[in-house]
Amino acid sequence: MEREIRNKLIELARNKTPWSYSQLNEQLLLGLNFNNGYDREIIGEFLGNISIHEYHKGRPLLSSLIIHKSKDREQGDGFYKLCSEIYGKDWEELKSDKDFELERMKECYSFWKDNDNYKKYKNDY
């Protein structure tokens, strides 16, 4: 499942397109119900595992491309809490810095748009 999600995130990065959690769920037929806390935890775990893997390989955090579909269109708290662990900063401080989330997305776009990176790392999971 995580491999399929990662492949979709790479495709989104190459197309410079963020998706909502719901779009990811519906398009990949994950069958999750986000009204259920357990299902929200599952998607957070999948996305977190993918981003941790990418971080350990020196690559940008792919989970930055999954955002809320509400009008704020920002990443979920879980993304910021993961970044807090990675970067050693308070997650609420990271969340309040709108440039932080945009920079993480731009890093993904730039890295995965590069055809050499794509060929070299697309199957590295």
CB 112 within 8 A of CB 14: yes
Separation between Cα atoms, residue 117 and residue 109, nearest integer Å:
11
CB 101 within 8 A of CB 18: no
Tell me the three state secondary structure of residue 89: coil
> Considering only CA atoms, which of 109, 51, 59, 106 is closest in space to residue 84?
51
pTM metric for this prediction: 0.92
- The residue among 70 and 105 whose pLDDT is bigger is 105
Task: Give 16-53 pLDDT, tens digit per residue.
Answer: 999 999 999 999 999 999 998 899 999 999 999 999 99
**What's residue 72's pLDDT?**
67
Is the pLDDT confidence value at 1 over 80?
yes
CB 24 within 8 A of CB 122: no
Task: Give 77-91 pLDDT, tens digit per residue.
Answer: 999 999 999 999 999
Is the pLDDT confidence value at 75 over 90?
no
